[in-house]
Copies of this chain bind each other. A is one copy, B any other.
Amino acid sequence: MRDFFYSLIAHRLNKSKFSLFLQSKRIIMTFKITILGSNSAIPTIKRNPTAQLVNHNERFFLVDCAEGTQVQLRKYHIKIQRINHIFISHLHGDHFFGLIGMISSMHLLGRNKELHVYGPPELENIINMQLQASQTELIYPLIFHPFNPDVHDTIYEDDKLTVKTIPLNHHIPTCGFIFKEKKAKRKLRKDVINNLDIHVDEFVKIKNGADFIDDGGKVYENKELTYPPPPPRSYAYCSDTAYHEPVIPYIKDTDLLYHEATFMHDKADVAAEKFHTTTIEAATIALKAHVKKLLIGHFSTRYETTDPMLQEARTVFINTEAAVDGQVFEV
């Protein structure tokens, strides 16, 4: 779509102007996470329970949807109708009690495009029963995509991204999600391209890997004309889980890992009993999986401030941040 847009522009501009236009745009796709809730279990005034918005290339994905998520979105000036895909990690209330309200509000606000919901199979009945009780016939298509949280599987795919489940170890069937970019096209080397007589129609082919042959028959190999694309980025979200090393192969080398860290490490026994993770354990997973950055969240309500949790995690994995409601993290 973007290539089509550029080729339209290219037809209206001469080559040097188009080159300037390309240079003026940073052709790096948006990939960022907005924290909508960093608390566990119950909503508090300071911290909402779990939800995050993933913005990849201006496509919006919601990951989990605790009670109050729609108000968080309003608070952070994000239009709920821009969300087309919602992923629910498991059916504990602090991860999905806001979903029915979100679905209803989208209806009341006049949505007409599809909404896709990915979650454990029971979710569909829970939502439908509530819609029936209020005699609501949604004015937009609501499409459920049930998945088995215990299996690592691709549950979403578009031209730029895949989303796969990551089986976790919790009281009830629970999974995380990993958002992985597909390999992008090569980038034109404007310093070379600008000195050749290449029609703009050729640009897309060259970005796709084609060589260029000029009018005199001289062959320019693609690697002379282009830079390799930036490496694909990935965001992994490990929702509620006990310390669980089997996730490591799935999240290996991830750019940003959101891992729950419900407790400080002095509560390691409580964490294990409740199938949750401590700060040190989350950081250990990050370390062993060689992720680039760790984001801890899903904090127990008992912790008024998360600074000590962050400090504790950093003793194991220095590049750690603590989730804060409203904060945006680049992948």
Name the B residues within 8 Å of A43 (CB-CB): 68, 70-71, 74, 101, 105
User: For A98, what are the chain B residues with a Cβ–Cβ distance below 8 Å?
Assistant: 67
Count this chain's copies in the assembly. Answer: 2
Q: Determine whether A109 belongs to the interface, using a CB cutoff of 8 Å to chain B.
A: yes
Do A129 and B125 form a contact, CB below 8 Å, given A71-B45, A104-B93?
yes
Q: Is A315 engaged at the interface, CB distance under 8 Å to the other chain?
A: no
Given A44-B71, A93-B100: A133 and B129 interface contact (C-beta under 8 Å): no
For A132, list chain B residues within 8 Å (CB). Answer: 122
**Does chain B have a CB within 8 A of A305?**
no
A contact residues, total (Cβ < 8 Å): 35
| A70: chain B residues within 8 A (beta carbon) | 42-43, 67
CB distance from A260 to the nearest CB of B (A): 16
Measured between alpha carbons, how far is A259 from B124 in the docked complex, in Å?
35
Contact between A130 and B126, CB atoms less than 8 A apart: yes
Residue ranges of A at the interface with B (Cβ–Cβ < 8 Å): 41-45, 67-68, 70-71, 74-75, 91-93, 97-98, 100-101, 104-105, 108-109, 120, 122-123, 125-126, 129-130, 132-135, 171-172
A93-B100, A97-B104, A135-B172 known; 9 new pairs, CB 8 Å cut-off, are A42-B104, A42-B109, A43-B70, A45-B75, A67-B67, A67-B97, A97-B101, A129-B129, A134-B172
